[in-house]
Structure 1
Amino acid sequence: MASHHKFLRSLFSLFLILLLSGQWIMQLEARHHSRHPKVSLKKLFVFGDSYADTGNIRRGLSKVWKEPYGTTFPGKPAGRFSDGRVLTDYIARYLRVKSPLPYGMLKEQPHHVKYGVNFAFGGTGVFNTLVPGPNMSSQIEQFESLINNNILNKCDLANSVALVSVAGNDYSNFVATNGSINGISSLVGLVVNQTALNIELIHKLGVKKIAVTSLPPLGCVPEITVSSSYRACNDTYNMLVSIHNSYLLDAVGKLNGERKKNLSFMMLNLYESFLSVLNESKKQKSNRMKNTYKPCCTGVSNEYSCGSMDDKKVKKYRVCKYPKASFFWDTVHPTQAGWHAVYNRLRNTSDLRQLHHH
């Protein structure tokens, strides 16, 4: 009889341990889910330019398919305008999806669009800045063709996010065509209005959340700071950028209308994120990014640029020893370390967090 009671006590103790451990596991799971809310996101669609392109630009059109591009990631040239990852890769990481395949690499098969599609193309503007090459409207037409051909369905779109990268090719094209910045202010309203129409169309096609980038501080890119021996940003260019960004913020606000929460349109503030990282690197205190405006990869002279070779296949460029210590990779584009630092700033903004709320 005593052994029977002993058996019952042991059974009860085991039951109690299982009950308590079950509650503990449930509490752990609850805590885990509160830290990492379940996201129903399925796909990321990307539109824009070289800040977001992960391999759409054709090999014959750009040096980014040649060394030393891609040396940090994936270890060889892969069509990214950097030594490694770019904005798209970090936004995808934040959304917990893989970086989507470039449109040019699709075979228009459903399994190729598992994580979305990247339509971004280096050099693209809102208007025509490339010959040959798409503008942003034609990228949206490519997106629409995938919908019309049933490669993408309504469910894919409803649980998806779009990233729209506008990094200033319309303005650099204006300067290249006209020889100066004079008269460029008349272009700002046109670029912003067309950008607003573009993101509205993406929304109408079924994507519920769209993030558009503000212009980065173009007066701080090495292409411009070279005139000051990489010592200072150009205030004239940055003033133009500020006007563009102010107009864009108003346009995004109008598209959202009266909504205060669960917004459809967000603006990712590249301007403040870039400046924050650049200003920190200028101070050089407890910060490994020492080179502020000077690019890591440069041509050996003015006639050459990063990735250049002469007719005998001799390299006509130099690469810094530590790309992690440079914000800029070439005359326009950040290093992977630069993009990662910018992403760390963006990650703490309400606009990026809004992309999680479906």
Structure 2
Amino acid sequence: MDISKPSVIPLFLAFFLVFSNLSLTLAEDRCYSHFFAFGDSIIDNGNWLHYARPPGPVALLPYGETFFKHPTGRFSNGRLIIDFICEALHIPYLTPYLAGNTSEDFQFGANFAVGGATALNQAYFKKRGLQVMFTPYSLGTQIRWFEKLLKLLGSSDAERKEIASTSLFLMGEIGGNDYNQPFFQNRPIEEIRTYVPDVINAIGASANDLIKLGAKTIVVPGNFPIGCVPGFLTLFQTNNSSEYDQYGCLRWANEFAEYHNTALKAKLRQLSERNPGVTLIYADYYGATLEYTENPAKYGFEDVIDACCGAGGPYNVNLMINCGLNGSHACPDPAKYLSWDGLHLTEQAYKYIAHDILEGPYADPSILAQCKCH
């Protein structure tokens, strides 16, 4: 398949046609002309289905069971952060880039995120002797896809600048898979820390590319508290109790995520100083998720350490049997769980995160506050 000119029939065509009749009404309510998203499986809503052969468990129930009632390519039981942002901004759910063909498919925006995507390209990891485990559609590739789509949506430089300047951009979370590859291949954390500046520079360069194209509002999330992720807890479990905090999370893994996030915030401050008139919003996925982990009852969670969907074992994560495969099962009420499959969150968790970056306090300025000023 020619990725530069996708020929796949849109997966969400029927759904999209329903909304297309509402476009004039929605246009009056929208404070952004379009919404464009980049990243990995945290916000991929279907690109993986059109790229991966075979697509794997994400194409099977119980993925998608809660809201859509069938698998959609989302790595969760229901809606993702981008879906809740779309709802808040009165924009129909985004069409995955690989599922569209014409400008009509993308009249409200597009999602370029692909499950397994990295900030750095595959050559970077091969040079370090790593087995390349994930998709070649890195952040740089996704930015190039956007450039091609922008030419489809706008017939002149002025029109394309206008589209970019009036759109909302969500970049990530991205970078987590850049670290997952060496983590999952047992590379020492001292080595993996040396990757951080390169990952941050790649994210910064992509944000800068969007700014050059005319973008004025870009949301860039940080990494999650990976030390609380059931998959990490299973892979790196230890009898040394001192490695865990009072909530059962791995201290060293969360400290690594904080190291990445600190560097990312510094890069965004640097870009802001160089680009007056551009709003770069840091979305604190780390702080939001840690809040739910430390105060689960406040948010209706009964289990924040185990996966809802798994095949048993510690943290309900079996590294040999993924959610969706024979031998796995989903919990009866995913809304009471923070983690869906050991690596991705439940719809309920994503709903809270979306709320906290739309209205605060885990984005400054919040998206809706910025929207009102737009």
TM (norm. structure 1) is 0.81
Contact 1:277 1:342 in 2 (8 A): no
Contact 1:124 1:130 in 2 (8 A): no
Contact 1:196 1:251 in 2 (8 A): yes
Contact 1:161 1:355 in 2 (8 A): no
Q: Aligned pair 1:83/2:91, yes or no? A: no
Name the counterpart of 2:336: 325
Q: Deviations over 1:41-89 (max 9, x none)?
A: 1110000101111110035233211111000121100000100011111
**Cα shift at 1:352:** 2.4
Name the counterpart of 2:13: none
Could you tell me which runs of 5 or more consecutive residues in structure 2 were left unpaired when the two chains were aligned: 1-27, 123-131, 313-317
Q: For 2:47, give the aligned amino acid.
A: N
* Aligned equivalents of 2:146, 2:274: Cα separation in 1: 29
* Aligned equivalents of 1:228, 1:324: Cα separation in 2: 29
**Cα shift at 1:245:** 0.7
* Aligned equivalents of 2:89, 2:319: Cα separation in 1: 41
Name the counterpart of 1:126: 119
**Cα shift at 1:257:** 0.7
CA pair 208-130 structure 1, distance change in 2 beyond 3 A: farther
Q: Aligned pair 1:106/2:109, yes or no? A: no
Could you tell me which runs of 5 or more consecutive residues in structure 1 were left unpaired when the two chains were aligned: 1-36, 309-314
* Aligned equivalents of 2:163, 2:290: Cα separation in 1: 36
Q: What does residue range 1-358 of structure 1 map to in structure 2 within 5 Å?
A: 39-58=30-49, 60-107=54-101, 109-127=102-120, 128=122, 132-150=135-153, 153-154=159-160, 155-167=162-174, 168-226=176-234, 227=237, 232-257=248-273, 263-281=278-296, 284=297, 287-300=299-312, 301-308=318-325, 315-346=326-357, 347-349=359-361, 350-353=364-367, 354-356=369-371, 357-358=373-374
**Cα shift at 1:130:** 5.2
CA pair 130-98 structure 1, distance change in 2 beyond 3 A: farther
Moved more, 123-132 or 335-344: 123-132
Q: Deviations over 1:193-229 (max 9, x none)?
A: 1111111101211221110101111111111223269
TM (norm. structure 2) is 0.77
Q: Deviations over 1:236-259 (max 9, x none)?
A: 111111111111111101111178
Contact 2:95 2:110 in 1 (8 A): yes
**Cα shift at 1:110:** 1.6
Moved more, 152-161 or 165-174: 152-161
**Cα shift at 1:303:** 1.9
CA pair 164-276 structure 1, distance change in 2 beyond 3 A: same
* Aligned equivalents of 2:100, 2:263: Cα separation in 1: 35
CA pair 265-89 structure 1, distance change in 2 beyond 3 A: same
* Aligned equivalents of 1:94, 1:204: Cα separation in 2: 27
* Aligned equivalents of 1:258, 1:207: Cα separation in 2: 14
Name the counterpart of 1:15: none
**Cα shift at 1:178:** 4.4
* Aligned equivalents of 1:203, 1:258: Cα separation in 2: 11
* Aligned equivalents of 2:56, 2:365: Cα separation in 1: 33
**Identity rate, percent:** 26
Q: For 1:326, give the aligned amino acid.
A: Y
Moved more, 249-258 or 329-338: 249-258
* Aligned equivalents of 1:80, 1:172: Cα separation in 2: 20
Q: For 1:337, give the aligned amino acid.
A: Q
